[in-house]
A and B are shown apart, each in its own frame.
Chain A
Amino acid sequence: MGGLGHYLEREGIATTQISLIRVHSEKIRPPRALAVPFELGRPLGTPDDPGFQKRVLRAALALLEAGEGPVLADFPERPPGPAPDLTGWACPINLARPAETLSGPERLARALAEEVGRLGTWHAISRERRGRTTVGVSGLEIDAIARFLAAFVGDPATPSPRADRSLAVMLKTASEDLKAYYLEAATAQPGAAPSRALEDWFWGETTAGRVLLALKGACARCPDEAVQRLGPRLVVPHTQKHRLG
């Protein structure tokens, strides 16, 4: 991020930035940066809180009026929201299944399709209430996403479902679409959930999480080198790698 600040200023355009990782800004020394104590993925602090977001924005823009630089300032507030109590939230819809019902690719595919169906109402409510969904980057409908990912886990020679996009791009975008569908459905339900609890729920309690954990191994068995590179880095987050065994 800070590097872009250098490049744009060299072209004569003033920049200010939000910094989520202060030590990186200390090293790169961009012209103006506001270090914020927020989790990665939330540079303005918290969703659905215009007042808080605007305070962050005002503080970042105010650095444009500094007389000299580089400037690295700190935003003093932590975002409001649910406490990061990892045991304080459980999805009201229990999707956990006995392991034997998930053995074998056909059972896994069937279980995933059923699970996607069970969350359909909450995803529809999310879409209605928020007026948007972030699902759909793959260009596939959710049922087709579930079929594609389950098929690939069963047979890593499964081709890309779109002629205009590589298998690696489709696996990545479909897996992110699947996660987004589940998380949008979960966060539409009553009860605020911290992001870590949502992540633990997805990877630890859902068939979709089980499919994506299996996807990493399937990527390693795929003859496509771009897919082989995808598996170790771009499927399972650091905080969930202990589930790979």
Chain B
Amino acid sequence: MAHIDEWPEDARDELLNRPMPDFGPAPFVKGAALARRRVAIVSTAGLHRRSDAPFADGSADYRVIPADTPAGEIVMSHVSTNFDRTGFQRELNVVFPIDRLRELAGEGAIGSVAAFHYSFMGATPVERMEGSAREVARLLKGDHVDAVLLVPV
């Protein structure tokens, strides 16, 4: 897949000039030092376990990825054709950096890694994900997560 700079001009302009929703002032939650945070990954790459139902066009729900899911059981069903998948095919962490996060926890750079991580499918307008996002927030709190790394694709 080409870098955005190599896209046809009309497609590139549409992407870069796409209207974005107005969320107003950003809330800014503070917390403990990074070395004491429990961190979860929330991806919009359309990731899920092999046994889960794939995402479909317009899906606004999410999939749960337990931290101990083997790399070979994590697949992708994002509906867009306009991003590179060969990186993900070669190695999981370029999209879902779970091993890197574990390493940082082992080094003491973060406190711990969450027991559960989550994925949405980012081709769906984000306004439609609000209810699902609130549900994920409740699940994250149950796992004592106090920092989320949001990873696009």
Contacts and interface: CB of A to CB of B under 8 A. Distances in A.
Nearest to B23: A6
Contacts of A4: 42, 44, 120, 126, 129, 133, 150
A198 interface: yes
Contact of A41 (B50, B83, B109, B133): B83
Contact of A134 (B18, B31, B37, B89): B89
Interface residues of B, number: 83
Interface string B135-153: 0111011000111111111
A58 interface: yes
Contact of B148 (A13, A176, A180, A229): A13
B94 A53 contact: yes
Contact of A15 (B77, B104, B147): B147
A137 B76 CA distance: 7
Contacts of A18: 149-152
Given A1-B44, A17-B152, A28-B21, A187 B1 contact: no
A11 B29 CA distance: 9
Nearest to B128: A3
Interface in A1-50: 1-21, 23-24, 27-31, 39-48, 50
B85 A136 contact: no
Interface in B50-64: 50, 54, 56-57
B99 A50 contact: yes
User: Which of A5, A31, A41, A183 gathers the greatest number of chain B CB atoms within 10 Å?
Assistant: A41
Nearest to A46: B94
A236 B81 contact: yes
Interface stretch (A59-67, A95-103, A141-149): A59-67
A198 to B, nearest CB: 6
A196 B26 contact: no
Contacts of B136: 8
A136 B49 CA distance: 11
Contact of B39 (A8, A61, A68, A237): A61
A21 B4 contact: yes
Nearest to A69: B28
A21 B16 contact: yes
Interface stretch (A113-121, A125-133, A150-158): A125-133
User: Which of A23, A29, A48, A132 gathers the greatest number of chain B CB atoms within 10 Å?
Assistant: A132
User: Which of A1, A67, A69 gathers the greatest number of chain B CB atoms within 10 Å?
Assistant: A1
Contact of A64 (B56, B104, B147): B147
A191 interface: no
Contacts of B110: 61
Interface string B70-88: 1110011101111111111
Contacts of B93: 44, 47, 50, 53
Nearest to B145: A13
Contact of A136 (B50, B122, B150): B50
A7 to B, nearest CB: 4
13 contacts: A6-B26, A6-B27, A9-B29, A11-B134, A29-B26, A39-B84, A45-B94, A53-B100, A58-B104, A61-B147, A226-B57, A237-B81, A238-B11
**Nearest 3 A/B pairs, CB to CB:** A3-B126, A41-B84, A132-B72
